A and B are shown apart, each in its own frame.
Chain A
Amino acid sequence: MKVITANRLLDGEVVWLGPDGKWVEVVGDARVFEEASELQQVLQSETVSEERQEVVGVYEIEVAYKDGRLTPTRLREAIRALGPTTHPYLGKQARPESPAA
């Protein structure tokens, strides 16, 4: 299972590609790709193009359902999804809508 991630150009915010082609701020809202071919198609499409001046550094990551929640499997990506583990009051984890908050 994969999702597509990037950083938002304007503020560097970590984002994932949502189901409607918009970038979302919570990994749980991301569009999940089960098929490699589908993923590749989107990765090469205009939707995720850096030329749209929305995001930079687009790539795919592995995710899995953990306790019913969509979670990146690698620690690095889990940290991107939440914020620094050393500052729990900073980053996405500190936001009211965050499951970790």
Chain B
Amino acid sequence: MYRYDEFDQEFVNERVAQFKDQVRRRLSGDLTEEQFKPLRLMNGLYLQLHAYMLRVAIPYGTLNARQMRKLAHIARSYDRGYGHFTTRQNIQFNWPTLADTPKILEELAEVQMHAIQTSGNCIRNVTSDQFAGAADDEFADPRVYAEILRQWSSLHPEFLFLPRKFKIAITGAPQDRAAVQVHDIGLQLTQNAQGEVGFVVFVGGGLGRTPMVGRKVRDFLPEKDLLSYCEAILRVYNRYGRRDNKYKARIKILMHETGLDALKQEIETEFEAVKHTFLDLPREEVERINAYFAPPAFETLPAVSENFEAEKRATPVFADFVHRNLNGHKAPGYASLTISLKPIGGAPGDASDEQMEVIADLAERFGHDEIRVSHEQNLVLPHVKLDDLPTVFKILQANGLATPNAGLVTDMIACPGMDYCALANARSIPIAQEISQRFHDIKRQQDVGDLKIKISGCINACGHHHVGHIGILGVDRKGEEFYQITLGGSADQNTSIGKIIGRGFPANEIADAVETVVEAYLQNRVGPEETFIETYRRVGDAPFKEALYGTV
């Protein structure tokens, strides 16, 4: 894992000291709220409905046990005993006080964490595949490049005041688990005919008010050009991005208005100017960063673990669990384990301080001290021996962390919605909870199979509803919560934006409507091997419309 060098640490410490002083000046009245607000936002501190909210960056979703324990400690000592993991692979604390925040940031700095670049019109925390460095289908570890991008973008003087926020995602596997095509820049590691490493580059993806799938601007960008090419994209965006209208300021709008060919041309021209400058990425630098992400020393194990297989035969709940919550690992005898933060009826993405401690312990004892946060609001132990899984499972089970639903209908994304968020039009969490209750029966969930439901409480789309197989958007209809359904969205290598199926539903009917959609899928699928999204793509929205609204 990447460790701060002296420069990083000094910089973060300075920022904490600076913010401490700013809070002091705010409380003494030397700074007005108007002056202070941008400063607190630059340090990840928002004001929500009930209290302040602190958003802490988890670069590319990677944590070690010590860091997780620190988050648990913050949840316990400064918050109300829990934290909320988000679709940006960050964690949010919902109840800190302004007075405590400098202290919290000091504590975070002790474990090389901070809340910088989690807000504002800058390049945000780079996100990645939660199975990075472990997945059996991975081509190269994307975190190496995510870290290089982090170092380049952190406080890049030119890019601190962009027209709008800017998000980069990177994946190292053909199976895209990082939703790269709905980011401002999406990078997919690849290899050319000569066996050299490079990237497929997408630009202008994004969700929110105007959802767009990123457009491919490069089939193959050589590794050494990564920074100069990104620099060129950012410069073009900085120059032409619309600062006059917040709703049109993202690069996706620039792409849409300028057109792919013209914008590509602009980027290439700028790239010619930037190329071969100090931004050239030397192989040695990649190697240096690579060393931080060197895989742990895996034991040489048989691919099949007797212990694991025996437990599967003996304990059906264990079999259910590993059937869904494991992902193939590159080292034989290992797996990546998804710890679902979606217990039946729970708030998606919430973890208590005790649960965080348990996961930290497990990571240390059984997981080479690594933990990941997925953009689907779950936690992952990327490197666990199959032999150890029966023990790990028992510990998870004892702590309410063994929900066997990864990728199933109850593994929903839901944003905080109107229960917390000042921008919300409707609640998200209670809707997720009700749907979760409806589908609590694991056999029914397994029968439905892979299905992603994503819920946002307003058009900002933090809950990624546009790319949910079933998307739910909360709107305000004459002061009442009302929910629109979109179908057919997807955020993997075949990214698509969901289509609104018809008129929306009030809060007390939305779970019924989702059940109706799921039933329509079951009736229309060729067989259990055809997933929801495949069926939808084959039959279109007509059968779903009819199921929801009757024949029109």
Contact = CB atoms under 8 A, between A and B. Distances in A.
Contacts of B51: 7, 11-13
A80 B98 contact: no
Main secondary structure of the interface of B (DSSP, over half): loop
Nearest to A56: B33
B97 A75 contact: no
B99 A11 contact: yes
A85 B419 CA distance: 6
Contacts of B27: 9-10, 53
Interface in B1-53: 26-29, 32-33, 47-52
B418 A76 contact: yes
A19 to B, nearest CB: 24
Contacts of A75: 418, 479-481
Nearest to B81: A90
Interface in A22-45: none
Contacts of A87: 347, 419
Contacts of A80: 49-50
A9 B98 contact: yes
A92 B196 CA distance: 59
Interface of A: 7, 9-14, 50-51, 53, 56-57, 73-76, 79-80, 83-87, 90-91
Given A12-B47, A79-B418, 5 more contacts: A10-B99, A12-B98, A14-B50, A53-B27, A75-B479
B50 A91 contact: yes
B420 interface: yes
A84 B420 contact: yes
A10 B479 contact: no
B50 A83 contact: yes
Contacts of B419: 79, 84-87
A44 B98 CA distance: 26
B156 interface: no
A11 B94 CA distance: 11
B97 A11 contact: yes
Contacts of B32: 50-51
Interface string B471-492: 0000000011100000000000
Interface residues of B, number: 29
Contacts of A13: 50-51
Contacts of B420: 84
Nearest to A55: B33
Nearest to A82: B50
Contacts of A84: 50, 419-420, 429
Interface string B318-349: 00000000000000000000000000000100
B501 to A, nearest CB: 25
B209 interface: no
A86 B49 contact: no
B433 interface: yes
B427 interface: yes
B162 interface: no
A73 B479 CA distance: 9
Contacts of A83: 50
Contacts of B48: 12
A86 B429 contact: yes
A83 B49 CA distance: 9
B240 to A, nearest CB: 34
B80 interface: yes
B49 to A, nearest CB: 5
A2 B27 CA distance: 29
